[in-house]
Amino acid sequence: MTLKVSTRGKIPPFIVMEVMKRSNTLEASGREVIHLEVGQPSTGLPSGAIEPVQKLMGDASLGYTIANGIPELRERISNHYKVRYGVSVDADSIFITTGSSAGFQLAFLSAFDPGDRVALASPGYPAYRHILTSLGLEPVLVQVGSDSRFQPTVSLLERLGSPIEGLILASPSNPTGTILPKNEFEKIIEYCRAKSIRIISDEIYHGISYGEEAATAASGGAPEIVVNSFSKYFSMTGWRIGWLVVPPELARSVECLAQNHYISPPTISQWAAAHVFDCLDELNANVARYGINRDILLKGLPGAGIDDMAPSDGAFYLYANVSKFTNDSVEYCNKLLDQAGVAITPGVDFDPVNGNHFIRISFAGSTASITEAVRKIVDWQLP
């Protein structure tokens, strides 16, 4: 008997998770591994949120919430936009999600129909194109490089030829860490509005920058969809909590989709997230540490001959060209892990066209681990 298997799951794996799985296997066998493969802060829930959450444990009221999340958290996020960006975002336009991953699914499902074409920068976060494909949408890769600071431009969008229904913007970007300057960000938004192209603005690395702050697409009644998360700046990866800012015409669709797909986000995670806005000093100290780690890599990696890197304006990644060492970034990363015990991610995860020449290094860990990793990479690369 042969039973049907859906084609939806026939998408490439998320390679960074494959690297993490292999790294964990090595650790289980007794090997020491420095983890620079996963974009995960080495810090946990901010200390100021721990006690309030502990008091809620075992509380009978921690049942389902409404699909769009508890009002207290949506109000805190609304205030966050006013304080950080000086923009007004109505709490009713904010939807709490089970991480940004669920946020992207809800955004794509509410805004697009099967067969619609959605453009995205390459290199870019691989789950964008994999989720789009699994939903019957067509990802349209916009090849970007150093000439555009690894970000899409109006000129690049005009060269696509066939019309697109959507565009994903990520600033700061994963894997490159580049930030779209505000004037370029506004040019793209103006172009997309004129062409009736829906923008999905990935802002999950907002708050983590080393100079100019990233601009937000969130504002009252705007047609853009904003995706954000508590995983990165707020250091809550395992809590699986994020949010959307949605335009009025999509609000009911997102609500119905969320009700049926997820019922509600995790209740304890929502309450924890409501308290982390009181912990900004601690969170900003984390960002300062990322900046130190970034400087250690920028100064140390050229000693291993790794000196061609995308400008890391924000997030906690370095995206480096290693074409003078290899034409196979997967093999390069496997050897570095096996021989030096340092886990990094091959660029093919983020760019199926040119990623064989690139690697991504996460510097979200401790400064001690970053320092040791640089030493190991230099010793391995230049024996």
Query: What integer pLDDT is reported at residue 60 of this predicted model?
Result: 64
Give the integer Cα–Cα distance in Å for 138 and 168.
13
Closest CA to 198 of 222, 224, 171: 224
- What is the mean pLDDT of the segment spanning 370-376? 97
Asked whether the beta carbons of 353 and 122 are under 8 A apart, the reply is: yes
- Residue 103, CA atoms < 13 Å, CB-side half-sphere: 28
Query: What integer pLDDT is reported at residue 217 of this predicted model?
Result: 97
Give the integer Cα–Cα distance in Å for 60 and 251.
30
Query: What integer pLDDT is reported at residue 56 of this predicted model?
Result: 86
| Sign of the Cα pseudo-torsion (112, 228, 361, 22, in order) | negative
| Sign of the Cα pseudo-torsion (80, 82, 86, 89, in order) | positive
Give the integer Cα–Cα distance in Å for 77 and 272.
13
150: left (phi over 0), alpha (psi -120 to 50) or beta: left
In percent, the amount of the chain with pLDDT more than 70 equals: 99
Give the integer Cα–Cα distance in Å for 278 and 74.
15
Q: Is the pLDDT of residue 301 over 90?
A: yes
- What is the mean pLDDT of the segment spanning 51-65? 84
Give the integer Cα–Cα distance in Å for 295 and 363.
10
Q: Is the pLDDT of residue 58 over 80?
A: no
Query: What integer pLDDT is reported at residue 91 of this predicted model?
Result: 96
- Quick one: three-class SS letters along the chain? CCCCCCHHHCCCCCHHHHHHHHHHHHHHCCCCCEECCCCCCCCCCCHHHHHHHHHHCCCCCCCCCCCCCCHHHHHHHHHHHHHHHCCCCCHHHEEEECHHHHHHHHHHHHHCCCCCEEEEEECCCHHHHHHHHHCCCEEEEEECCHHHCCCCCHHHHHCCCCCCCEEEEECCCCCCCCCCCHHHHHHHHHHHHHCCCEEEEECCCCCCECCCCCCCCCCCCCCCEEEEECCCCCCCHHHCCEEEECCHHHHHHHHHHHHHHCCCCCHHHHHHHHHHCCCHHHHHHHHHHHHHHHHHHHHHHHHHCCCCECCCCECCEEEEECCCCCCCHHHHHHHHHHHHCEECEEHHHCCCCCHHHEEEEECCCCHHHHHHHHHHHHHHHCC
- What is the mean pLDDT of the segment spanning 259-273? 96
Give the integer Cα–Cα distance in Å for 97 and 226.
12
Domains of the chain: 7-44+281-381 (3.40.640.10), 59-278 (3.40.640.10)
Give the integer Cα–Cα distance in Å for 46 and 282.
7
The model carries a pTM of 0.94
- What is the mean pLDDT of the segment spanning 34-51? 92
In degrees and rounded to multiples of 5, residue 336 shows phi and psi of: -60, -40
Q: Of 16-20, 22-26, 60-64, 309-313, which gets the smallest average pLDDT?
A: 60-64
Which tens digit of pLDDT belongs to each residue from 233-253?
Answer: 999 999 999 999 999 999 999
List the structure tokens of 133. 């494909």
Which tens digit of pLDDT belongs to each residue from 163-172?
Answer: 999 999 999 9
Q: How confident is the model at residue 289 (pLDDT cuts 50, 70, 90)?
A: very high
Closest CA to 191 of 221, 218, 219, 152: 152
Which tens digit of pLDDT belongs to each residue from 110-154?
Answer: 999 999 999 999 999 999 999 999 999 999 999 999 999 999 999
Give the integer Cα–Cα distance in Å for 378 and 139.
38
Q: Is the pLDDT of residue 326 over 80?
A: yes
